[in-house]
Amino acid sequence: MSTSQQRVATPSSSGPDARPRTLPWLAARGAFGFAPAIEVEITQLGHDGWVAWQLDLDLVDDNALDQKLAAYPWVTMSAIDIINDPSMDTVELGHEYKGLRLLRAVESKRQLFERVCQFWEDHFNVYMGSYFRFVEDRTIWRPMALTNFPDLLRGVSTSASMISFLNNELNVVGAGNENLAREILELHTLGVDGPYTEADVREFARALTGWTFDDDRLSPSFGTAIFEPSLHDFGSKTILGTVYDQGLGQAELGGILQMLAMHPSTIDFVTGKMARFFLGDNAPPQTVENAKVLWLQTGGDIKGIVRELLNQRAVETVAIRGGTKFRRPFDWYASIFRSTGAQVPSARQNYDNMALLGQAPFEWAAPDGYPEDRERWVGLVAPRWKLAASFARPHLGGAWNHSFWDFFGLVHGVPRAGWARRLNQRLAGGRLSPVDVSEIQAHLDSLPAMASNEDLLGEALELVFASPSYQIV
């Protein structure tokens, strides 16, 4: 592998301490939404400086979040330790882990890292049907998220959770199961339009035989992937025209995955998908081209690719063209906490809320991951409206950890006639549409003069979070 030496981050053309025009866009694409802290960070470091800083995880202190996560000690336990602890309810742990995903998105200082993790969660989706998945989230998915694509591909392809999710334990010499082979080619590397045939799927499946996992609950390696030579097909295989005939056994797969990871179709497919994730459909073609060249030159260095995609000029271009992305439910839910600073509810409550919104983490059942396409999500706004109505009025009940007083600072000292404009600045970095702002203000103006601040702010916050321009970034 090669982790190429990064270029030294240079301040943006607007210079440090001048608020970059791209700030609200970067906060919504390189992070989980606008928040007071990120406004300070990007203003101090500049656009490109912030991205470079975020990509050097050692420089970003995340101790405050780590201390909160320490309240869940099982998050760092192995599968064998979890099943040997009779106090552990693995189903409930799974629900909590999904809820903690939201806590990380809201409170991590490593916002860009969390966004990259989210991308790989979908790209290498494994439905969390067992605790293998959250154990390997800690040991494989997250630590490898910012390394390089060939290593990440090897890591997830030979993880116990991926092997069991796609039935590769059933894929044995003489009795093949093509599930994992097909999805690696179709979803993880070459893409559905890639240059592979059904024969390639079958041949690749033969190469994957023997990759299984230890399901012996008495074994110290329970829940980890293993290569079992007696189940492996040592014969010659031809995949995408390359012959693998040395009978290397366990070592064979690494070479095949390396070839796939650096295949031009993989580079096209995955870079394009990353560009849509970070920049939307209007990603500047030159930026995408540069990222592909970087992939080739650096052996798939993920940091370099992300830095290229999120560079200030690219984001500026997207912003000028007015290209937007529709926030998925998870991103919307994270953003309402980030923008208001409201205390995040319990992990279990987060899980229940995200399930109602339609995007509980790790619960997409198919191997393609939660979709990005707008069509899939735009109809699913009514649950947001209902949740926003409750979130905005904690004084009326609901399982929230925040109170009205967490919100009051947003408009403190501002007359009611200026609330909509103020909330637009404080909650969306000024990105709400003029129509939405004026409708919110008109609604406030129409309410009785004697209405309480709790009631007024509840009305205003609900409408901000339900407004169509808040749904897009």
Partner 1 sequence: MNNPSKRSIQGTNHWPGAHSRRDVLRMGAAGGAFAMASGARAMARPQTGGGRDTLVLVFLRGGADALSMVVPTQEAALYAARPTLGVSAQNTTSLDGFFGLNEVGARLLPWYLSGNLAFVHAVGSPNPTRSHFEAMRRLEQGAMTGGVLQEGWLARHLRDTAPPTPTSSARAIAIDRTLPTVMQGGPAALPILTLAEFGLGGPPATRLARAGRLETMMNAAPLPDGPAGLTNLSTIEQLAPLDFGGRPLPPGVDYPPTKFGQSLYEAATLIKSGAPVEAIEVDSGGWDHHGFLGPLDGRFALRLRELSWGLDGLMSDLGGDADRVTIVVMSEFGRRVDENGSGGFDHGRGGVAMVLGGSHVNGGVVHSNWPGLEPADLDGKALAVTTDIRDVISEVLVKRMNTANLAVALPNYTPSFLGLVN
Rounded to whole angstroms, the Cα distance separating 50 from 42 reads 6
Rounded to whole angstroms, the Cα distance separating 338 from 106 reads 6
Rounded to whole angstroms, the Cα distance separating 50 from 52 reads 5
**CA distances from residue 358 to 134, 190, 328, 399 in whole angstroms, order as listed:** 20, 29, 9, 19
Least distance in Å: CB of 14 to partner 1? 28
Task: Give residues with Cβ within 8 angstroms of 233, minimum separation 6.
Answer: 173, 174, 206, 207, 209, 210
Q: Which is nearer to partner 1, 308 or 462 (CB)?
A: 462
Q: Which is nearer to partner 1, 237 or 393 (CB)?
A: 393
Rounded to whole angstroms, the Cα distance separating 444 from 455 reads 10
Q: Which is nearer to partner 1, 422 or 443 (CB)?
A: 443
Least distance in Å: CB of 342 to partner 1? 17
Beta-sheet pairing, 237-239 with 242-244: antiparallel
Q: Are 469 and 427 in contact (CB under 8 A)?
A: no
Least distance in Å: CB of 461 to partner 1? 10
Least distance in Å: CB of 122 to partner 1? 13
Q: Which is nearer to partner 1, 243 or 447 (CB)?
A: 447
Which spans in 174-280 are helix H? 179-183, 198-208, 252-261, 264-279
Rule CB under 8 A: which residues touch partner 1?
167, 170, 177-179, 182-183, 186, 192-193, 324, 326, 355-356, 358-359, 365-368, 371, 373-383, 385-390, 392-393, 396, 433, 435-436, 439-440, 442-443, 446-447, 455, 458-459, 462-463, 466-469, 471-472
Backbone angles phi, psi at 213, to 5 degrees: -140, 160
Least distance in Å: CB of 439 to partner 1? 5
CA angle 250, 138, 66 (to 5 degrees): 160
Q: Which is nearer to partner 1, 301 or 436 (CB)?
A: 436
Least distance in Å: CB of 442 to partner 1? 7
Q: Which is nearer to partner 1, 89 or 373 (CB)?
A: 373
Q: Is 213 helix (H, G, I), strand (E, B) or coil?
A: strand
Least distance in Å: CB of 379 to partner 1? 4
Q: Which is nearer to partner 1, 20 or 367 (CB)?
A: 367
